[in-house]
Chains A and B, each alone.
Chain A
Amino acid sequence: MFSGNAGGRLNTQITQLLHRWQDGDLQARESLFEALYADLVLVARNRLLNQAGGTLQPAALVNESMMRLLGSDVDYKDRAHFIAVAALKMRSVLVDHLRARSADKRGGNLVHLTLSHAGEVADDEDGGHDVMALHQALNRLAELEPRAASMIELTYFGGMSRDEIAVVLGVSAPTVDRDLRFARAWLNRQLA
């Protein structure tokens, strides 16, 4: 946890980056990504050490990271934009990891094994394929309905609520509901 003073300075820095990003500064977004990634790894490590389950919920992760980097005293719009950046970063972290892992499996002479040779474990027990399939289907959806695709990204990779999404995308909450409903139906069919 950050102490008050350091937290305050960090808070200001991150908030400034968020504002610069909203003004179209892509370098600011890169800086945000870096700060976020470092923090997400820390938060993830802490959470994983303190629980046996072995999974991380994007919403919980983003929320904790936001409290650490932004503090609780932030305006609604900055919060929403922070989560939006976090969702983007989360998706790219996942996809990079899954790509690296599958390259790893294809390349080299690594012998395939499971921990105990007796119990063969399916290679995709952790559902990496599903996540990759979602990523690819989302790319296709983005060509046809970019706004709905963003909403799915914010919901599933950022754990964002419909009201927060409405703020970030500048639409009404019922519009978010309608887009999400259609996008989910479409993705369900693509991923079936």
Chain B
Amino acid sequence: MADTGKGAGKLHWRQARELFDALCELPREQWQQALDQRCSDPALAEEVLQLLDAQTEGLRRVNDHLGMALALALAPELDAGQRLGPWRLTERIARGGMGKVFKAERDDGLYQRTVAIKLLHGLPGAGEVEQLQAERQVLAGLRLPDVAQLYDGGTTPDGYPYLVMEYVDGLPLDRHCAIHALGLE
């Protein structure tokens, strides 16, 4: 939109809207000719052409994303202070595109232990649930000194899977590599 002050901007807008309304039912190949007849301002004509061109696309992409964003906004999220099975979440230590990691303590008085709990936030699609379950399976089979040990796993009351892992007070692998300038070899 031309920066020619508010009044002129409004006028320009109204002209664009009127031309759009007059032409939008016409077949595409007639747009240019109809514009030539009605409009002598090439910038305005170009703008109207672009609008006409954009009229047939719905707002599909953003509409698809609305559903996902809505699920994330309305889905209950766990946070520090809440309990998950026998564990009490004490501190959120990381979050990413798909999940969160909490530091947690045993809260049933049986014994003391600090663990890390990894869980999906918002709404897992079937793919993410499977991925976390697969991760659970792989970790359960590993017993390496340098890999955080998997203790437990479960499902939140709302149906999201989570992992209970050994709490390691250190840097994530990628940060460690970045700080010590390690390559991938």
Contact = CB atoms under 8 A, between A and B. Distances in A.
Interface stretch (A76-84, A123-131, A161-169): A123-131
A142 interface: no
Nearest to A98: B69
Contact of B94 (A112, A125, A145): A112
Interface stretch (B80-88, B104-112, B168-176): B168-176
Contacts of B62: 127, 130-131, 133-134, 156, 191
Contact of A126 (B61, B68, B174, B175): B68
**Main SS class of interface, A:** helix
B132 interface: yes
Given A44-B75, A111-B175, A185 B70 contact: no
B16 to A, nearest CB: 9
Interface residues of A, number: 58
Given A61-B70, A93-B73, A115-B131, A121 B97 contact: yes
Given A117-B173, A123-B97, A187 B59 contact: yes
A86 B129 CA distance: 31
Interface residues of B, number: 57
Contacts of B154: none
A130 B98 CA distance: 18
B42 interface: no
A45 B158 contact: yes
Of listed A98, A123, A144, A178, residue having the most chain B CB within 10 A: A144
Contacts of B101: 113
A116 B158 CA distance: 22
B175 A181 contact: no
Interface stretch (A16-24, A27-35, A46-54): A46-54
A94 interface: yes
A110 B17 CA distance: 47
B5 interface: no
Contact of A115 (B17, B54, B64, B128): B128
A127 B51 CA distance: 24
A96 B128 CA distance: 25
Contacts of A128: 65, 69, 72
A127 B69 contact: yes
Contact of A113 (B55, B57, B94, B158): B94
B67 A56 contact: yes
B30 to A, nearest CB: 17
A52 B123 CA distance: 9
Interface of A: 40-41, 44-45, 48-49, 52-58, 61, 90, 93-94, 96-98, 104-105, 110-117, 121-128, 130-131, 133-134, 144-145, 152, 156-157, 178, 181-182, 184-189, 191-192
Given A52-B126, A184-B57, A185-B20, 8 more contacts: A44-B70, A45-B74, A113-B101, A115-B132, A121-B97, A131-B65, A156-B62, A191-B59
Interface of B: 10, 13, 17, 20-21, 24, 50-52, 54-55, 57-59, 61-76, 92-99, 101, 118, 120, 122-126, 128-129, 131-132, 135, 158-159, 172-175
